[in-house]
Amino acid sequence: MDEDMARALLGALSGRVPRTKWTPAGWREVGSCRHSDPNLFYPLGRGAAAAEQAEEAKAFCRTCPSRAPCLAFALSTRQDLGVWGGMAADERRRLLRSQRTLVAS
Ligand code: SF4
22 CB under 6 A from ligand 1?
A: no
Model pLDDT for residues 86-100, shown as the tens digit of each residue: 999 999 999 888 876
Summarize pLDDT for 37-88 with one digit per residue, the tens: 999 999 998 899 999 999 999 999 999 999 988 998 898 888 999 999 999 9
Give every CB contact of residue 97 below 8 A, 6+ residues apart in sequence.
none
Instruction: Find the 104 Cα to ligand 1 centroid distance in Å.
Output: 31
Nearest-CA residue for ligand 1 atom 3 is 84
DSSP 77: T
Phi first, then psi, for residue 104 (nearest 5°) are -70, -25
Give the confidence band of 15 by pLDDT, cuts at 50, 70, 90: low
In order of 24, 26, 70, 91, the CA distances from 51 in angstroms are 29, 29, 20, 12
SS3 content of the chain, % helix, strand, coil (to 5): 60, 0, 40
Average pLDDT over residues 17-30: 67
Whole-model pTM: value is 0.81
